[in-house]
Amino acid sequence: MHVRKGEQIMNIEQDMEKVALREKRLQFKQFDAETAWTIGSALKAAAEKRHVAVAIDIQLNGHTLFSFSMPGTTPDNWDWIRRKRNTVLRFRRSSYALRLKDELAESASGKKMDLDEREFAPHGGCFPLFLAGTGCVGTITVSGLPGREDHGLIVSVLQDYLHLQGEDLALDPESAA
């Protein structure tokens, strides 16, 4: 499918608006080890239901509360998790939002963000753990699928956990990747 530059930019901008809405809506009133266990277990179950393998990491203030590697993942998944997490902790935005920002910059000016790829990965799959009234206090990260799907897996589980199933937070499957 051929997409013209203007349409591509519009699709990226639409995705950026949806991702910003997700970040605003998917916030916690409280978060502890029990919450991490529940969400991590739900991410594992959702991946199993889709018949995919992912590595899952949930951290609160730099402390690992949930960590799991499904059969079929590799040590590379943990490097991706580390780099995605670094990106989210630096910018306080989801790694997919930063991916979209990077794509928009490249489409508009031909320049991407200047990040050390050994330390940062602006790709989907890491979501900031926002505590209402406080801000970003940790991360929820998944690695094993294409970035947009890693991001979608986290969002669908958080939507269920936070009882926001009726909200339209899904990305259009045919918009920017």
pLDDT, tens digit (0-9, with 9 covering 90-100), for 111-126: 667 788 899 988 999 9
Domain count within the chain: 1
Left (φ > 0), alpha (ψ -120 to 50) or beta: where does 158 sit? Answer: alpha
Cα(11)–Cα(75) distance, integer angstroms: 33
6-33 pLDDT tens trace = 566 778 888 888 888 888 989 999 999 9
Give this prediction's pTM: 0.85
How much is the average pLDDT of 69-76?
97
State both tokens at 118: 């050994």
Q: For residue 169, is it within any domain?
A: no
Cβ partners under 8 Å of residue 139, min gap 6:
57, 58, 59, 85, 88, 89, 126, 127, 128, 129
128-149 pLDDT tens trace = 999 999 999 999 999 999 999 9
Q: For residue 146, is it within any domain?
A: yes
Q: Where is average pLDDT lowest: 40-44, 99-103, 154-158, 166-170?
A: 166-170
CATH number of the domain where residue 67 is located: 3.30.450.150
What is the residue whose two structure tokens read 């990491």?
57
Segment holding 38, helix H or strand E? helix 33-49
Q: For residue 170, is it within any domain?
A: no
Cβ partners under 8 Å of residue 103, min gap 6:
12, 176
Q: Is the pLDDT of residue 106 over 80?
A: no
Residue-averaged pLDDT of the chain = 87
